[in-house]
Structure 1
Amino acid sequence: MTDKPIVGFIGVGLMGHGMAKNILEGGYRLQIKGNRNRAPVEDLVGRGATEATSAKAMAEACDIVHICLSNSPQVEEIIRGSDGILASGKAGLVVVDCTTSDPNSTDALAAELSDAGMTLVDAPLGRTPKEAEEGTLDAMVGCDAATFEVVRPVIECWSGSITHIGETGTAHRMKLIMNFIAMSYGALFAEALSLGVKSGISPQTVRDVMGASRMSNGFFDTFMSYAVDRNRDAHKFSITNALKDMTYVASMAQGAGAMNPIGAAARNYYAHVAAIGEGSDYVPMVADHVARLNGIDLADAVKKGAK
């Protein structure tokens, strides 16, 4: 027998599959609940997980439940729905929301769960599905100190870096600040590439000069891996999700009474791509869309730059 808590995981997609796999490999009994894609569910069941019939049933059987979904409305439904976590009435349950969520929603859900004797932890993620599979994600955690000690051993299974930001809600706010910077980088890099090409400078030159300077960073590397090297899988984060996060940033800024004009400008790049029906494209692909708005075929510009 083990004294380890029983863990549940809702949302075993691009990020969640690797996280759940690493929880299993950490020696925890695991229940999972997936969506339409059966492949990751079947893989995890084959590794020893059991599949829950509903979020309510999972909450009844588990001590800690992770949620890793696309947006706050999905999290709200999983918690508040008729077959959701709150319906379990499981006092003492700890819910760990790894979604990049709207902090206003997080605050409301934390209060509702607390009233039911449950605890909400916000633990959004940094890095990509590659690091999720490797168990080396960055984790930002929002909760009280005692709860942090409860969840930390489980989070250590899928994270290489854990930062306790503060009380519940603070981690989602920190994650949005990070994504505000990252998605703004994406818009800026896309615009810079088009400006370079229109000015007679190849995409390769823009990448090589900036990449060797102090302005380089990890996001720059993955962005240019697609924009210049045409590696489609360099950064598998959809424009739909980027737009969602930038919309949450706008809401956060409004709630805080803070100006956010750069955020509004960057958001419009992703809003444009989503509006023309290409929201499933990955974030670095915004460079192609901005190039087309400037009358450029970026892939062709890359080919010419290689000559």
Structure 2
Amino acid sequence: MHVGIIGVGLMGHGIARNILSRGGFALSFLDHPGNQPVDEITGLGAKACATPAEIAAVSDVVILCVTGSPQVEAIVTGEAGLAQALKPGAVVVDCSTALPDSTLRMGEALRAAGGDYIDAPMSRTAKHAHEGQLNLLVGGDAATLDKVRPVLASFTERVDHVGALGHGHRLKLLHNYVSVGFMTLLAEASAQAADAGVDPQILVDVLAGGGGSSAALDRLAPYITAHDREGLPFFVANAQKDIDYYRAMSEASGAQKTIADGVSSALAGAVDAGHGQAYVPELVSIFRKADS
């Protein structure tokens, strides 16, 4: 199979290198200013394309690894988009974090173009992407997933089929709401502790020995104790985007979102203050008192 990828950023670069080096597949990628340096993947044989349509014309599988629904929709149905040149039977695998309603519309557009679509949002970090150990939550037809499993196996540790098309993105938003929500709450508590002069290691130890023990604490502890942000290279602006996608999904279904509104407000304050490109662990400092 010839594979295409659109979005060679922090996560997509790792996916691309493993498709080439571990999977042994031919790879085309969209030439875009948002890409990470592509010397490694071009050295492994990857070929640059100028438009999504050019990628569609040569690819049996196309992987999307972009910011969210507006970008996915432009790539799939926009000018020189995938739907204009899709090979018959080709599968588009959307590894982005997107809105389920948009995912269903993109699925219809690609099926009308003669292909198919699965949503396969990722969990874990850029380090796991580099090492080929991502986890995917896949929504869509099981037979379609089986067609692309050899490609997915090249950059994943675990692939879970979670239901019909759209369920992957729905579960990813639920997951990120809980994960980002926990980390935002923890950052706010840690900021208050720091303002009060509490020893940060003692704070971490107390939380770890009680009800605060969690993956969120594991991810933020290096920053709380040593201002090391590198364990979670996830931008605050992207965290806010994911929470707002969750809020939109909740509003569309009539679900309660009171706590999500509070998390969004906290993150929006950080973004509005110019910290959108900070990593999430840095909220521990961003949330401190202005005179700290």
Which AA in structure 2 matches 1:236? Answer: P
1:19 corresponding residue in structure 2: 15
- Tell me the distance in 1 between the aligned counterparts of 2:86 and 2:232: 39
- Choose 40-49 or 176-185, whichever is displaced more: 40-49
- Which consecutive segments of 4 or more residues in structure 1 shift more than 6 A? none
Please give the TM-score of this superposition, normalised by the length of structure 1. 0.90
Counterpart selection for 1:237 from 225, 234, 249: 234
SS in 2 for 1:40: coil
- Choose 219-228 or 113-122, whichever is displaced more: 219-228
User: Does the CA-based 8 Å contact 2:15-2:130 persist in structure 1?
Assistant: yes
- Choose 207-216 or 88-97, whichever is displaced more: 207-216
Which AA in structure 2 matches 1:188? Answer: L
- Choose 68-77 or 126-135, whichever is displaced more: 68-77
User: Does the CA-based 8 Å contact 2:14-2:130 persist in structure 1?
Assistant: yes
Gaps of 5+ in 2: none
User: Does the CA-based 8 Å contact 1:7-1:31 persist in structure 2?
Assistant: yes
1:7 corresponding residue in structure 2: 3
CA deviation map 1:225-263 (0-9, x unaligned): 123221131210001100110110001101111101111
CA pair 8-203 structure 1, distance change in 2 beyond 3 A? same
- Tell me the distance in 1 between the aligned counterparts of 2:129 and 2:64: 14
Residue 255 (structure 2) pairs with residue 258 (structure 1):
yes
5 Å-filtered alignment, 1:37-56, equals 40-56=37-53
- Tell me the distance in 1 between the aligned counterparts of 2:194 and 2:284: 12
Counterpart selection for 1:162 from 147, 159, 162: 159
2:116 corresponding residue in structure 1: 119
5 Å-filtered alignment, 1:139-158, equals 139-158=136-155
Please give the TM-score of this superposition, normalised by the length of structure 2. 0.95
1:132 corresponding residue in structure 2: 129
RMSD: 1.6
Which AA in structure 2 matches 1:208? Answer: D
Gaps of 5+ in 1: 297-307
Counterpart selection for 1:285 from 276, 282, 285: 282
User: Does the CA-based 8 Å contact 1:13-1:34 persist in structure 2?
Assistant: no
User: Does the CA-based 8 Å contact 2:3-2:60 persist in structure 1?
Assistant: yes
- Tell me the distance in 1 between the aligned counterparts of 2:86 and 2:24: 27
SS in 1 for 2:25: coil
5 Å-filtered alignment, 1:165-180, equals 165-180=162-177
- Tell me the distance in 2 between the aligned counterparts of 1:151 and 1:255: 31
